[in-house]
Amino acid sequence: MRKSTHRLPGLVLSNHEFIVPLDHKKPNAEKITIFAREVVSIEHESKADLPWLVFFQGGPGFPSPRPDSKTGWLKRALKEYRVLLLDQRGTGLSTPVTFQTLAKIGSPQKQADYLKNFRADAIVADAELIRREIIGAGTRWSGLGQSYGGFCLTHYLSTAPEGLKEAIITGGLPPIGVSIDAVYRATYGRVLEKNRRYFARYPADGPLAAEIVECLTRTDVPLPGGGTLTSKRFQELGLGFGFTDGFEAVHYLLEHAFVDGNSGRELSFTFLRGVENALNFETNPIYALLHEACYLEEQASHWAAQRIRAEFPEFDLAPGKPVLFTGEMIYPWMFDDYAYLRPLKQAAQILAEFEGWPRLYTLRTLESGSVPTVAAVYYEDMYVETAFSEQTAAHIPGIRLWVTNEYEHNALRADGEQVLDKLLAMLHGER
């Protein structure tokens, strides 16, 4: 473990690096690095007995937040915790997973075998190793999991509850015992409703989206950073429709769609760059490579999102038909259209066909647990089906649910101080 410290107004931040096994079942084999940033409020800096809170970020494939001020959920957490912002394996300053680093590994089969070690089970095993390293095997810590981070924390509860003092989950109670096909049927249904609301708010965007698709169908449109903007890639802009600002992000992007160029009306550079910036599958490839694997236990996905899409012809593209946006789906064609996913196409196919994913949840352990747990469930969540979250909650003794449509999936980012304050009050029996 290496440590370095720096300061921001009101904050003391210490950087840690840990060496962990790539495969925790083979502790003496290949190693990788895990980065974590410890954050403490400056007035608590010298409190050695301050309890720890480890944060699991959403994704998969995204690093922990980079604090630049004492705001949001972190501000509330620092009133009573020393926070550890964990860069889950493969992300941030942990040993990264990118098309560049995977190229060093070798064949697509070797890449796929390497990537099998980057799910929630390995992330939690990393956290347990780190807990023992920094606070001792006999001391528990608290966990906060947002979105996919909640999947990780639920795995934690079902496999290593002895490491947790308490658990706080926001928008991330995972489906347990639900097929991946059922997950995507529910997701497509939610996305349809988000489209209805989007075009009710911005009706002029319907004809504009149709014009964009017609342009993309008529000619190949290269993107500034490489790859091609196809009609299906354009549809993926609906990925953010489950956030409080998701509609506006797409609407304001479409406002800049066209300019008058040498050849007449054409898609603007501003728009094309904006599309690239909105869809970060290339910079965070774990999201594309392992998203469906988040749901898998002893089964293969066989590109579930693509298969189930056939049951929802509303998303088909045809002349004269309304253009609808898709959501949190990964498709095989993405490994052609995204220039920096292309080198990973064969590995992605191997992962889609892999049937040996270990089980992620041990129901007997989950149902016999005693870790105090609270969870925010967002009633209209586009990414995590409410009914499935409620079913999972039934397996966690004593869990306290806050089911609300006041917030969307990104509530912890949008109003984190208030959201965490309420959940902590529930956890402590004050609400």
Whether residue 145 is found in the same domain as residue 186:
no
Whether residue 375 is found in the same domain as residue 330:
no
pLDDT of residue 3: 79
Does residue 268 belong to any structural domain of this protein? yes
| Gap between the Cα atoms of 95 and 403, Å rounded | 37
Q: If you average pLDDT over every residue of the chain, what do you get?
A: 97
Q: Is 68 annotated as catalytic?
A: no
Cross-strand pairs, 19: 33
- pLDDT > 90: percent of the chain: 97
Range 5-44 burial, b when 16+ CB lie within 10 A, else e: eeeeeebbbbebebebbbbeeeeeeeebebbbbbbbbeee
Whether residue 398 is found in the same domain as residue 267:
no
For the stretch 366-408, pLDDT in tens is 999 999 999 999 999 999 999 999 999 999 999 999 999 999 9
Whether residue 313 is found in the same domain as residue 412:
no
Does residue 55 belong to any structural domain of this protein? yes
Does residue 260 belong to any structural domain of this protein? yes
The CATH number covering residue 70 comes to 3.40.50.1820
Whether residue 250 is found in the same domain as residue 393:
no
For the stretch 333-375, pLDDT in tens is 999 999 999 999 999 999 999 999 999 999 999 999 999 999 9
pLDDT of residue 292: 98
Helix axes 148-159, 120-134, angle to 10 degrees: 70
What range does the domain containing 398 cover? Answer: 2-96+119-176+361-427
Q: Is 44 annotated as catalytic?
A: no
Does residue 108 belong to any structural domain of this protein? no
Question: Which residue among 306, 329, 353 closes a domain?
Answer: 353
pLDDT of residue 1: 66
Question: Which residue among 353, 369, 384 closes a domain?
Answer: 353
Find the helix or strand (DSSP H, E) in which 166 lies.
Answer: strand 164-170
Q: Given 41, 64, 147, 389, which residue is catalytic?
A: 147
Q: How many domains does the chain have?
A: 2
Cis peptide bond N-terminal to 60, omega within 30: yes
pLDDT of residue 263: 84
Whether residue 26 is found in the same domain as residue 168:
yes
Does residue 23 belong to any structural domain of this protein? yes
| Gap between the Cα atoms of 173 and 106, Å rounded | 36
Q: Is 381 annotated as catalytic?
A: yes
Does residue 144 belong to any structural domain of this protein? yes
Residue matched to tokens 């449109």? 221
Does residue 318 belong to any structural domain of this protein? yes
pLDDT of residue 200: 98
Does residue 113 belong to any structural domain of this protein? no
Closest Cα to residue 287, out of 305, 311, 274, 310?
305
Q: Given 158, 381, 389, 395, which residue is catalytic?
A: 381
Sheet holding 52-56, edge to edge: 2-8, 11-21, 31-41, 82-86, 52-56, 141-146, 164-170, 373-378, 400-404
| Pairing between β-strand 400-404 and β-strand 141-146 as defined by DSSP bridges | unpaired
Residues of the chain with pLDDT under 50: none
Closest Cα to residue 222, out of 160, 162, 267, 282?
267
Whether residue 342 is found in the same domain as residue 392:
no
| Pairing between β-strand 52-56 and β-strand 141-146 as defined by DSSP bridges | parallel
What number of H helices and E strands is found in the chain?
18, 11
pLDDT of residue 195: 98
Question: Which residue among 332, 353, 374 closes a domain?
Answer: 353
Whether residue 9 is found in the same domain as residue 85:
yes
